[in-house]
């Protein structure tokens, strides 16, 4: 079987952001699996207009999403919600998210981004995605990673492993289902 193409989506674009550090940790764990090919999707690399009027980056973003089988959204929590650019990116794509699995790695201050993850569960259901049950939440994120980007947190590593197991299961299942019959959405 071909490895699944797993997009790791960095949901923050803020200057001085922690997002790439968290995403690099997710990537390091995912890349240990021969069954996964990682695709980096950093929203800072795309200029997606708020107007939702398509530009060249919109087309490039839609093509990138369309080429992936599964997603991990790496998201901070801003004022108890997801970052605006992440919502805009979700709204920019219509069909290419559909019938694909998604998992969440959130981070923040005291809250660990749990509210951002719960918002994403609502939004991704509307987009016809399948969200996996297990998620990772990192509170006080700035104090968690060492200088090499390592994370000394067995529960988080365990949670990420289960998240990836579930994503892989769904990616294979829905790829077969999509090949057998058009998704009715
Ligand atoms: C505008 C703003 C609002 C924030 N609101 C929350 C919040 O509601 N809950 C929380 O746990 N952390 C909150 N934080 C802390 C961030 O989660 C933390 O700074 C994190 O590093 C942000 O991710 P980023 O560095 O990738 O942008 C907020 C940070 C900013 C900049």
User: At 33, which CATH number?
Assistant: 3.40.50.360
Q: Domains in the chain: how many in total?
A: 1
Q: How many residues does the chain have?
A: 185
Domain assignment of residue 164, yes or no: yes
pLDDT of residue 137: 98
The pick from 78, 112, 115, 138 for probing ligand 1's pocket by mutation, whose C-beta has the most ligand atoms within 8 angstroms, reads: 78
Q: Is the dihedral of CA 46, 39, 81, 118 positive or negative?
A: positive
Q: Is 79 left (phi over 0), alpha (psi -120 to 50) or beta?
A: left
Domain assignment of residue 185, yes or no: no
Domain assignment of residue 124, yes or no: yes
Q: Is the dihedral of CA 21, 30, 12, 104 positive or negative?
A: negative
**Burial grade of 137 (CB within 10 A; 0-12, 13-18, 19 or more):** buried
Separation of CA 76 and ligand 1 centre (Å): 6
pLDDT of residue 62: 98
pLDDT of residue 1: 81
Query: For a pLDDT cut of 70, what percent of the chain falls above it?
Result: 100
pLDDT of residue 32: 97
Domain assignment of residue 114, yes or no: yes
Q: What is the pTM of this model?
A: 0.97
Stretch 34-44: mean pLDDT, rounded? Answer: 98
Domain assignment of residue 29, yes or no: yes
Q: What are the pLDDT digits (tens) for 114-171?
A: 999 999 999 999 999 999 999 999 999 999 999 999 998 999 999 999 999 999 999 9
Give residue 49's domain range: 4-180
Stretch 15-23: mean pLDDT, rounded? Answer: 97
pLDDT of residue 185: 79
| Mean pLDDT score of the chain | 97
Q: Which atom of ligand 1 is nearest to the CA of 17?
A: 25
CB 19 near ligand 1, within 6 Å: yes
Q: What are the pLDDT digits (tens) for 53-84?
A: 999 999 999 999 999 999 999 999 999 999 99
Separation of CA 112 and ligand 1 centre (Å): 9
């Amino acid at each position: 079987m071909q490895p699944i193409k797993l997009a790791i989506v960095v949901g923050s674009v803020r200057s001085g952001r922690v997002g790439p550090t968290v995403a690099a940790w997710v990537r390091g764990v995912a890349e240990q699996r021969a069954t996964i090919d990682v695709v980096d999707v950093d929203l800072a690399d795309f200029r997606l207009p708020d107007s939702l009027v398509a530009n060249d980056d919109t087309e490039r973003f839609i093509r990138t999403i369309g080429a992936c089988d599964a997603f991990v959204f790496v998201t901070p929590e801003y004022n108890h919600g997801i970052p605006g650019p992440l919502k805009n990116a979700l709204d920019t794509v219509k069909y290419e998210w559909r019938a694909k699995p998604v998992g969440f790695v959130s981070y923040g201050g005291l809250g660990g981004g749990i509210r951002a993850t719960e918002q994403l569960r609502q939004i991704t259901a509307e987009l016809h995605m399948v969200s996996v049950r297990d998620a990772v939440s990192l509170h006080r994120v700035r104090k968690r990673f060492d200088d090499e980007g390592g994370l000394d947190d067995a529960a988080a590593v365990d949670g990420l492993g289960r998240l990836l197991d579930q994503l892989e299961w769904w990616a294979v299942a829905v790829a077969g289902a999509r090949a057998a019959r058009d998704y009715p959405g």
